[in-house]
Each structure stands twice: as structure tokens, then as C-alpha cells.
Structure 1
Amino acid sequence: MVPHLITALNVPINELEQRILDSMPAIERWFRLEWMEHTPPFYSSVDVRNAGFKLAPVATNLFPGGWNNLTPEMLPLAVQAAMAAIEKICPEARNLLVVPENHPRNSFYLSSLLQLKRIFHQAGLNVRFGSLNPEIKEPTTLSLPTGETITIEPLIRSDRRLGLKDFDPCTILLNNDLSTGIPGMLEDLEEQYLLPPRHASWSVRRKSRHFKAYEEVSKRFGKLLGIDPWLINPMYAQCDEVNFADGSGMECLTSNVEAMLAKVKRKYKEYGINEKPFVIVKADNGSHGMGIMTVRDVRDLPELIEKTRARMAASDDLNNVTDVIIQEGVLTNERVNEAVAEPVVYMMDRYVVGGFYRVNAERGVDENLNAPGSSFVPLAFADNGRLPQAGEKPGSSSPNRFYMYGVIGRLAMLAASYELEATDPDAEVYD
């Protein structure tokens, strides 16, 4: 079944889709040349919002979970991509050590880990799981509702290597975003490959830095296609030294929200868009429980801040957020069974390997869908396996629409590679 997308007849997205399909050879060559100069993240997922008049990424995850939401038909693509990625890094690899989140008790997350294990096992690797959690002192087997089990083991650190008992890996794959900091156990692993690198963690990353890189990518891509980069790029601003506990830094937040709403309003007027602009305010490092705020009017900000302050105080996150990003809000006009939805694109190495729709019937078109009440619908198209067709009417073909989502996902992935290069502590220039 093909999920029904109510954006299928919206003209601006169809024009963008047509431009992308007509430019497919140039686009693929452009990506190929970029990957000759830049190293893609080992794996990533990108949340995409399709407003009908604009298509843009709103979040890029370099430690993606949710692999269990990929359909069986997508797994061969993932296996091929895993083979290509491992061959580039450690061709002789036999063993892969996966480091999961510290408290992997959620059954959906455990299913995601097992899916990763299946992918890399079929790519020719022995896969085991080692935890950074000091409470894991012996192999611990966890059961899933499906009847499957997964064993998490304590990590063992030697002089220059990290492994498990009787298990010495060539490569260590982090599926833990290290938002609370980088443990010493992961330092100085000179004889092993750590993927993604330590500076990809949320203790180092900033969303504003990522979207700065994405802005550069979108300008270059817009020039290639001859389009306004705004059609694929969410504008943003950033405030540091914000303190929700004592109220300091609120002037910066208020002025930037007001300025961003004005910028979006001007763009809507330019394109004849009859929608109310809004912005999203969230923690810049993405690692804390700060409530994401949807702001439609700057006069609503004091009340929203007070509500956010109450939520953060209740979750002990009050003093953890000091930097925020103010991002242009992108509507999602997609629906699955009448519920608001957004596509999530999954990639490994430089390849798109699949994706799904995040669906949340309890949220509106201008709200964050990655919240309680969300569910997932695989991107299982009725004509699965077909390549995009340049001659088809825009909006009529699922492969065409998914190809367009994959292009946006890869643009965000390329921005992440720029971002990681700029923040590499071992590079000559540290940004």
C-alpha cells in the first residue's frame, strides 16, 4: 500500500520534483564529485518536512536508531551499503563491536540493534554489543516481545584497544550519542576505527553548526538546479548564554524569534503562500529534555518560556540548556491515514538505504512529531524496486517522490560531513 500524501497535487513541490528528475544525471555527478572530496558519515537519518511549497531537512541524526522500521525489501540495500562502508575503512574486518545506549531496555530500540546486527552479519561481520554502562558487569541477555534475545556485555579496555572477552574488533560502531560526555574508555584508540568519530557526539555537535554547513550546501545545490535555496533550506538563528532558570538571555531569544518570523513572512509573501509563519526553538546540542517550542507570535513567547521552564525544572534539565537554535518552521502537509506524517530517510555511507513515515495523530502540521504518540509506517511502496522515472507526471510516482526525499537526505548528510571536517580536533583548522 502506498501511504496517501495530500501534497501530491501541490504545484511548487511538483515543480521542484520535476527539476530534480530532469537534473538527475547532473545531481548524481555532483554528489559523486563531492564524495571524492568529503567523507560521508558512517550512517545517518534525516527528518524531512514537505510543506507542499518547500521541502527541507529539520534534523540530522548521526547515531540513528529505528533500523527495525526498515522493511525486509530494504535490507539488501543496507547490506550492500554496509559492505561498501566497511571495505573503505577496514577491508580485513571480521569483528564489529556495537556500543549501544547505556540503558537499552526499550524493546523498539533493542529491535533496532538486532536489525543492525542482521545487516552487518550479512555484510560478513561477527557482531557483538558492549556497553559503556558501569552497571553492566557481566553478559546480560534481554528478551524482546518477539521472543528474540540480545546480549549486552561489559566493555574491556586494554592499553590501546577496546573489546569484549574473547572478542577483539577492528571497528567500533557507536549507537550511543554520548550526550553526557566522551568517556575515557573511548580515548586514544589508535589501533581501532571508532565510527562515528568522537566529535560527532552531542557533547560536541551543535545544530546551528550543522545548519550553517547545510546552508552552504543548499546554495551550491540551488545554483546547480537554478532554484532559490530557500525552497530546500530552513533558515535559522542561534542564541547562546540563555538561562531558562533565571531568565537571562531572553532578550536575544525574543529578538531572534521576531526577526525570524519577519524573514519567513517576507518569503511567504514573495511566493504567495497563504500560511501563518512559525519558528521552532530547541536546544542547540539536541541532547537534553528541553521542550521544543513552536512560536507563531513573538507575544506568545513569555508564556511558552514559562511552560518550558516548568517542564525543564520537573525533568532536572533546567541548568543544562544554555544554547538554543531558532529554526524556521516547516509545515508538513503529508498524511498517513489522516494523521500528520513526515518522511525519515536512512543512509549508510553515501547511499540511501530506506526510510519510513513518522506519524503522530496527536500533533499538528506545525509541531514536532518526534514525541509521545508517534508511530512509524514503512516506506513500502506498491511499485517497490522501480527506479525514478523522469517522464512521469510529478506527484504520481512513489519512487520519484522518494528519490526527491533521498536527494534532500543526502544534502543533509553532505552538510554533516562538512560539519565533522570543521570540528575534527585532529585537523589543522578547528572551527
Structure 2
Amino acid sequence: MVPHLTTALSGPINELEQRVLESMPAIERWFRLEWMEHTPPFYCSVDIRNAGFKLAPVDTNLFPGGWNHLTPEMLPLAVQAAMAAIEKICPEAKNLLIIPENDTGNTFYLSNIAQLERIFHMAGLNVRVGSVNPDIKEPTRIDIPGGETLCLEPVVRGKYRLGLKDFDPCTILLNNDLSAGPPGILEELHEQYLLPPLHAGWTVRRKSRHFQSYEEVAKRFGKMLGIDPWLINPMFNTCGEVDMSQDEGMECLRTNVDALLGRVRKKYKEYGINEKPFVIVKADNGSYGMGIVTVRDVRDLERLLPALQERANRPGGQAARGVIIQEGVLTNERMHQAVAEPVVYMMDRYVVGGFYRVHAERGVDENLNAPGAGFVPLAFAESTRLPQPGQKPGASAPNRFYMYGVIARLAMLAASYELEATDPEAEIYD
């Protein structure tokens, strides 16, 4: 089912879809050449928003949860991608250790871990789940939704290796975004593969660096396709010295919010878009600290400052000193009368599935990743429904989902650029 696109300004998106479908061989060759030069993240998910006049990624997660929302029909693709990813990294792999977040009370998150365990078991690995939570001192079984149980075991650290009692993995899969910093127990593992690497965590990672890389990718892709890269790229500014908890750097924030709103207005005028531009202000280093705030006018900042300061003072996580000001992208898709945005899941360089995140209580210009959100599977894994170039744009679910997969892979490619630039073992550290 193609969600209803509630906008009359669907011309640019239909034209983009047509261009993408017509250029499919060139696009796939372009990606193949890129992956010859760059290593994709082990896995990731990408939040995409379709405004009807613009289609762009708004967030890329390198430690994706939510695997439990992938349907059984999607699992064969995920298993094949897992096989390809493991074979590339460690062909002789036998044992895999998954390290989850420390929150053992979130059973829906633990269902995501159980799904990952299932995927890699079917890919031919012995899989166990090891916790770095100091409260886990012995094997602990936790009931999770669906009548299953998940066993968390305390990790055991040797001089150069991490494992469990009587379980020595060659590969360790992190499903923990390291927002509170990397535990020392994960450092200096010289004889094991740690995926993703520690520098993918929020101690090092910055959203602004990712979207700087994405802007570069979008420009090159847009040139190949002959399109304005703005149609697939959210513009952004940054303020590195902002500290909301101390009311520092507010002038920088005002200046950059105003400047970005002006750039968006100019683009809206160019395309004849009669919508009110907005920007999203959020922490540059992950989800902790300052929350996500929608700003439509620079004067809104004064009214929003108390809320920003309150969020900046929340305990836990890295201090949110820097902020990213990102062009707001409307989501004009509806499913079951609720606002919807696609989330695309990838492993290695392959799209393996995804879902629509829907929220009946949120608006088209608000963050949907909030309590009350629901999830409706995408149809990526229906093998008989490949892209159909002859179909009218906007009429075919496989065509729209193929377009979403292209945008998601562009974001994944940007993440590979980003990780190369921040790799502490690279010859040049940017």
C-alpha cells in the first residue's frame, strides 16, 4: 500500500521518482563504484521525510534498534546481508557476541536484540548476548513480548579479548550508541572485530559532520542525475559553542537560525512552495542533553529557551554543547489518518527492510520518534514486487520504496565517508 501523499505539490517528487527509475542502471553502477572505494557501516537505519516537493533523510542511526519491527518476510534479505557482511569482515567467523544497551527494563528494545540474535544465528553463527551492565552478574533471563525470553550474560574481559564464560567470539556487534561514553572494557581489543567501531559512537560522532558528508554525496548524485541536490538534501548550520544549560552562545544560535530560515524561504520561492519554512534545533552529539525543537521564527527562540535549558540539564549522556540547526522537512505522507515517515534498514550495502513510523498526535513538522508512535512495515521484502519503470510515478509502492532505498543508501554512503574521516587509526585525522 502506498500511503496517501497529502499535498498538491507532488510534481517535483513524481519527477524525481521518474528520473530515479529511468536512471536505475546508472544509479546502481554509481553505488557499485562507490563501494569499491568505501566501506559501508556494518548496519544502519535512516529516517526519511517526504514533503511532496522534497525527499530527504533527517537522521542516520549507526546503532539501529527496532529490528523487531521487521516482518518475517523481510528476514531472508537480512540474513543474506548478514552473511555477506560477516564473510567480508571475518570469513572464518564462528561466534558472535551482541552487546546491547544497559536498559534491561525496556522489553521492546530487548525484542530488537532477540531479532538480531535470530538473524545472525540463521546466518550461520553461534550468537550470545553479553551485557556490560554492572548489575548483570550472572546469566539472566528476561521475558520479552511475544512469549520469548532473552538471556543476558555478564561479559568477561581478558587482556586483549572480550567474551563470556566458555564463549570466545571473533566478532562483537555493538547495539549501544555509547551516548554515555565507551566503557573501558570495550577499548584496546586488538584481536577481535568490534562492529561498529568505537568512533561511531556519540562520544566522537557529530550529526553536522554526517550531514556535511551527505551534502557532498547529494551534490555528486544530483549532478549525475541532473537534479537540484536540494530536492534530496536538508540544509543545515551549526553552533559549536552553544551551551543551553548556561545560556551561552545564544547569539550564534539566533544568527544561524535566521540565516537558515532565509535560505529555505529562498528555495521555497524558487519552487513556488506556499508553506511556512521551519528549522529543527537539536543536539549535535546524539539524543541526550538537548531535545528536538521546531523553530519557525528566530523570535521563537526566546520563548523556547526555558524548554531548551531544561532538556540540556537532564542527567545522563554527553553534554550537549554543540547544536545542529537543520532545515525542517515536512512529512506529507499519511497512513491510517496519522502522519507517517519511512525508516529504512540496511546491513552492509543492502536495503533489507523497514517500516513507516506513524504518530496520530504529531504534526507534519514535528518529530515522530516519540511516545505514542506506531509502526507499519514497508514492502521492501516482497520479492515479486520489484521496481516497475513503466508505472506512473506515485502509483506504485515498489517504485516509491525503491526511491526511498536510494536516498537511504546515499545516507549510508555519507556515513562511510564520516567514519573514514574520524577513524583514529587513519593516516589523516580530520
Q: Name the TM-score class by shorter chain.
A: over 0.9
Partner of 2:133: 133
Matched-pair identity in %: 76
Q: Which residue of 2 aligns with 1:330?
A: 329
**Residues 158 and 358 (structure 1 numbering): CA distance in 2 closer, same or farther, change over 3 Å?**
same
- Which residue of structure 2 lines up, in the alignment, with residue 350 of structure 1? 349
1:122-174 Cα deviation digits (max 9, x unpaired): 10011100111111111111011322100001110111111000100010000
Supply the distance in 2 between the matched residues of 1:392 and 1:347 (Cα, whole angstroms): 26
Look up the equivalent residue of 1:388 and give its one-letter code.
Answer: P
Q: 1:149 to 1:233 in 2, by over 3 A?
A: same
Residue type of the alignment partner of 1:347: M
Output the CA distance in 1 between the equivalents of 2:361 and 2:321: 29
- What is the alpha-carbon distance in structure 2 between the residues aligned to residue 267 and residue 83 of structure 1? 44
Q: Is the 8 A contact 2:40 2:348 kept in 1?
A: yes
**1:393–1:7: structure 2 CA closer, same or farther, 3 Å change rule?**
farther
- Indicate the residue corresponding to 1:110 in structure 2: 110
Letter in 2 for 1:181: G
Q: Give yes or no for contact 2:289–2:317 (8 Å, CA) kept in 1.
A: no
Deviates more, 1:239-248 or 1:417-426: 239-248
Does structure 1 conserve the Cα–Cα contact (< 8 Å) formed by 2:288 and 2:318?
Answer: no
TM-score normalized by structure 1?
0.97
In 1, distance between residues paired with 2:289 and 2:337?
29
Please give the secondary structure, in 2, of the residue aligned with 1:392: coil
Asked if the contact 1:290/1:311 (under 8 Å) is kept, the reply is: yes
Query: Are residues 1:203 and 2:203 paired?
Result: yes
Q: Which residue of 1 aligns with 2:144?
A: 144
Structure 1 residues 382 and 347, CA gap change in structure 2 (3 angstroms): closer
Q: Normalising to structure 2: TM-score of the pair?
A: 0.97
Following superposition, the deviation at residue 318 of structure 1 comes to 11
What's the offset of the Cα at 1:382? 11
Matched, 1:10 2:10: yes
AA matched with 1:230: W
Shift of the alpha carbon at 1:369?
0.6
Mapped to 2, the partners of 1:270 and 1:213 lie a distance apart of 25
Equivalent residues of 2:353, 2:379 under 8 A apart: no
Measure the CA separation in 2 of the matches of 1:9 and 1:430.
43
The DSSP-based 3-state class of the residue aligned with 1:286 is coil
Confirm or deny: 8 A CA contact 1:17 1:394 kept in the other structure.
Answer: yes
Does structure 2 retain, via aligned residues, the 8 Å contact 1:2–1:380? no
Contact 1:129/1:152, CA 8 A, preserved across alignment: yes
CA offset digits 1:262-318 (Å, max 9, x no partner): 0000000001111000000000001314221100011111111122223444x3369
Contact 1:9 1:395 in 2 (8 A): no
Provide the alpha-carbon RMSD of the alignment: 1.6
Matched position secondary structure for 2:177: coil
Matched, 1:368 2:370: no
Q: Which residue of 1 aligns with 2:29?
A: 29
Query: C-alpha separation between the residues in 1 aligned to 2:215 and 2:50?
Result: 18
Please state how far the C-alpha of 1:184 moved relative to its aligned partner.
Answer: 1.6
Aligned-residue offset at 1:353: 0.2
1:21 is paired with a residue of what secondary structure? helix
Is the contact between residue 8 and residue 395 of structure 1 (CA under 8 Å) also seen in structure 2?
Answer: no
Alignment CA distance shift 1:21-1:424 (3 Å): same
Q: Is the 8 A contact 2:73 2:382 kept in 1?
A: no
Residues in 2 aligned to 1:382 and 1:5: alpha-carbon distance in whole angstroms = 22
Counterpart residue type for residue 132 of structure 1: V
Name the structure 2 match of 1:182.
182
Q: Which amino acid aligns with 2:201?
A: S
CA distance in structure 1 between the partners assigned to 2:250 and 2:127 by the alignment: 48
Question: Using the alignment, how far apart are the partners of 1:385 and 1:109 within structure 2?
Answer: 31
Deviation at 1:9, TM superposition (A): 7.9
C-alpha spacing 1:116/1:319, structure 2 compared with 1 (3 Å): closer
The CA deviation at 1:30 is 0.2
Q: Does 1:193 align with 2:210?
A: no
Q: For residue 231 of structure 1, what is the aligned residue in structure 2?
A: 231
Q: How many residues align?
A: 430
Deviation per residue, 1:100-122 (Å, 9 max, x gap)? 00113212111111111111111
For residues 148 and 157 of structure 2, what CA distance do their matches in structure 1 show?
29
Q: 1:332-374 deviations in whole A, cap 9, x for unaligned?
A: 0001111001000000000000000011111100011111111
2:141, 2:317 → 1: CA distance?
35
Partner of 2:260: 260
Separation in structure 2 between the aligned mates of residue 121 and residue 21 of structure 1, nearest angstrom: 35
Quote the Cα distance in structure 2 between the aligned partners of 1:17 and 1:410. Answer: 15
Distance 1:350 1:69 in 2: 20
Tell me if 1:377 matches 2:376.
yes
Counterpart amino acid of 2:84? A
For residues 104 and 319 of structure 1, the distance between their equivalents in structure 2, rounded to whole angstroms, comes to 21
Q: Is structure 2 residue 57 aligned with structure 1 residue 65?
A: no
Counting only pairs closer than 5 Å after superposition, residues 51-130 of structure 1 correspond to structure 2 as 51-130=51-130
1:246-269 CA-partner distances (Å, limit 9, x unpaired) = 211000000000000000000000
Find the residue that maps to 1:395 and give its secondary structure.
Answer: coil
Match of 1:417 in 2: 416
Unaligned runs of 5+ in 1: none
Structure 1 CA distance for aligned equivalents of residues 353 and 328 of structure 2? 25
Check the 8 A contact 2:205/2:285 in 1, yes or no.
yes
1:54-100 CA deviation, whole Å, 9 max, x = no partner?
00000000000000111111110000000000000111111100000
Distance 1:252 1:346 in 2: 35
1:382 & 1:162 partners in 2: Cα distance? 35
Aligned to 1:405: 404
Q: Whole-Å Cα distance in 2 between the matches of residues 383 and 191 of structure 1?
A: 40
